[in-house]
Amino acid sequence: MQKSVRYNEGHALFLSAVARKEGAKRGYLSKKTAENSRWHEKFFALYQNVLFYFENEQSARPAGIYLLEGCTCERAPAPKMSTTGREALEKQHYFLIVFGHDGQKPLELRTDEESECDEWVEAIQQASYSDIIIEREVLMQKYIHLVQIVETEKVAANQLRTQLEDQDTEIERLKAEIIALNKTKERMRPYHVIHENEDPDIKKIKKMFLVSVQGFMRGWLCRRKWKIIVQDYICSPHAESMRKRNQIVFNMVEAETEYVHQLYILVNCFLRPLRMAASSKKPPISHDDVSSVFLNSETIMFLHEIFHQGLKARIANWPTLVLADLFDILLPMLNIYQEFVRNHQYSLQVLANCKQNRDFDKLLKQYESNAACEGRMLETFLTYPMFQIPRYIITLHELLAHTPHEHVERKSLEFAKSKLEELSRVMHDEVSDTENIRKNLAIERMIVEGCDILLDTSQTFVRQGEPSSAHSMAQHTTNLWSLLPVFFKSFTKSASNSLLLHFFLSILLCHMNIKASEH
């Protein structure tokens, strides 16, 4: 007998009382019952991510509780009824609460006013603990950033206070010097009376000398002030963050230079020579195989040469680094990577088949012995583009970590990062689906009369192994799909040269004999 779920009823009653008095949204709604599909008016109260409903507004005990975490809420069309009840239905507004697991029927509710219906839908959509956690993380990041700014301002304020104290001390010292100079001037007054008839040229020279000394001192004080300001900024957290950001950009340029060089070697040392070899009288490889192995390689090289030139132009304008517009140009062109990644496994299979030709294998080893290849094989160069999109995602993640929230490029870089992550997920799913279809087709060809079930794209290849049968010690090669397990039984020379294929579909067991010529 299945045990009932236990919960803290006292705490649930307390929360229902709080929801009835202080809930985010309260009011009467019509609820559709699951037994007889009738509508009953109940008093609903939404508190955080829990929805309570009562028989009426004065009820102290809730009639039911719904946990809204992980559910979705949306407007629903009115159910179809006869013409007589259509006018009454037009005055009703329906919405559904769909729970996030199978087997749970959606909760159907309705209101008399459209505005009230929209308010309920919006309130339920916002009643999610996970959304609050995400908002809290965003606010915490902003709070940490503001704390860093405040700490920097405090350090700057302390430095300015120290400078003011030093300047006050300097003013006191200068006042003392002025007093001493005035006393000296009083003592030297008879001497000045004697020299009143001094030559005007000498006076002019002395005046020019004093002006030059004053200009020198003013320049020295100005340079000293700016030196202190620059040194304070260099030691600040903002400057340290900008240095790390610039270093990430410089590393990105170096990595892009290396990647363009690898693509250049792939195109000029392998693709173009193999195209010429395919056009010879006795071609070691066909043009179709060359296109299959090097699909979009030359286009990818041209695209990244343009992107690399743009990066170098931005570095030339350092310290002003604006990269968002470059990614805006690059993102629409990255769909060529989808074709390359989707074709990658197939290109390696075609290359492996071509290597069985001795002439092609000899020619390929000659190309790989080129000094520019540095001992790397063709398969290595074909693999480099597979990691470029993840490398861009990591670089943008590090770049955003050192980009302030108020930076002009932050939104554009976040948009580029989200687009690259979406493209990476699509490419991963397409590669998985393509490999699954190829494996299913390869096994389907082994069956003489074919198998339409394996041609269904919903069949997912899980694994392949060699378990032992319970009735025999002979090994069996097993191919397991998500919806259809298939077993290929091993055979001996003395057997009837056939394989026994078992299909298990629900409780139906089918046996088919297939020839083993393709085993």
Work out the angle between the directed axes of helices 335-354 and 297-316 (0-180°, nearest 10): 130
Residue 324 tokens, joined = 């968002």
CA terminus-to-terminus distance, the chain = 51
347 plus 388 within the same structural domain: yes
pLDDT at 498 (0 to 100):
37
Residues 21-54 have pLDDT tens digits of 888 888 888 888 777 678 888 899 988 888 888 9
pLDDT at 371 (0 to 100):
92
CA dist., res. 324 & res. 308, Å (int): 14
CA dist., res. 367 & res. 363, Å (int): 6
259 plus 228 within the same structural domain: no
97 plus 163 within the same structural domain: no
pLDDT at 274 (0 to 100):
92
354 plus 418 within the same structural domain: yes
324 plus 291 within the same structural domain: yes
252 plus 342 within the same structural domain: yes
Residue 361 maps to a domain: yes
CA dist., res. 311 & res. 320, Å (int): 12
389 plus 499 within the same structural domain: no
Q: Are 464 and 477 in contact (CB under 8 A)?
A: yes
Residue 47 maps to a domain: yes
Residue 168 maps to a domain: yes
Residue 115 tokens, joined = 């505005």
Residue 507 maps to a domain: yes
Residues 406-456 have pLDDT tens digits of 777 788 888 888 888 888 887 777 666 556 656 665 676 677 666 666 555
Name the DSSP class of 77: P
Q: Are 490 and 473 in contact (CB under 8 A)?
A: no
**Does residue 319 have a cis bond before it (omega within 30 degrees)?**
yes
CA atoms within 13 A on the CB side of 265: 23
359 plus 490 within the same structural domain: no
Number of domains in the chain: 4
Q: Are 65 and 50 in contact (CB under 8 A)?
A: yes
Low-confidence stretches of the chain (pLDDT < 70) are 1-3, 36, 80-91, 102-103, 190-198, 319, 321, 430-442, 444-445, 448-519
Residue 70 — left, alpha, or beta (φ > 0 → left; ψ -120 to 50 → alpha)?
left
**Final residue before a domain boundary, out of 127, 144, 163:** 127
Residue 33 tokens, joined = 């019952």
411 plus 278 within the same structural domain: yes
268 plus 360 within the same structural domain: yes
Q: Are 435 and 341 in contact (CB under 8 A)?
A: no
Q: Are 92 and 110 in contact (CB under 8 A)?
A: yes
pLDDT at 291 (0 to 100):
92
Residue 209 maps to a domain: no
Q: Three-state DSSP class for 403?
A: coil
Going by C-beta distance under 8 Å and a sequence separation of 6 or more, which residues neighbour residue 10? none
CA dist., res. 301 & res. 410, Å (int): 28
CA dist., res. 279 & res. 272, Å (int): 11
490 plus 360 within the same structural domain: no
Residue 220 maps to a domain: yes
Residue 54 tokens, joined = 């009562």
Q: Are 338 and 305 in contact (CB under 8 A)?
A: no
Residue 156 maps to a domain: yes
Indicate the burial class of 180 (C-beta count within 10 angstroms; 0-12, 13-18, 19 or more).
Answer: exposed
Q: Which residues of 436-463 are buried (b: 16+ CB within 10 A; e: fewer)?
A: beebbeebeebbeeebebbeeeebebee
Task: Report, in this order, helix, strand and coil percent for the chain, each rounded to 5.
Answer: 60, 15, 25
pLDDT at 434 (0 to 100):
58
pLDDT at 252 (0 to 100):
87
Mean pLDDT of the chain: 78
Residue 55 maps to a domain: yes
Any idea of the CA torsion for 181, 184, 185, 187, to the nearest 10 degrees? 170
CA dist., res. 436 & res. 440, Å (int): 6
Q: CATH number of the domain that 71 lies in? A: 2.30.29.30
Residue span of the structural domain in which 71 resides: 9-127
411 plus 454 within the same structural domain: no
pLDDT at 330 (0 to 100):
79
Going by C-beta distance under 8 Å and a sequence separation of 6 or more, which residues neighbour residue 313? none
Q: CATH number of the domain that 379 lies in? A: 1.20.900.10
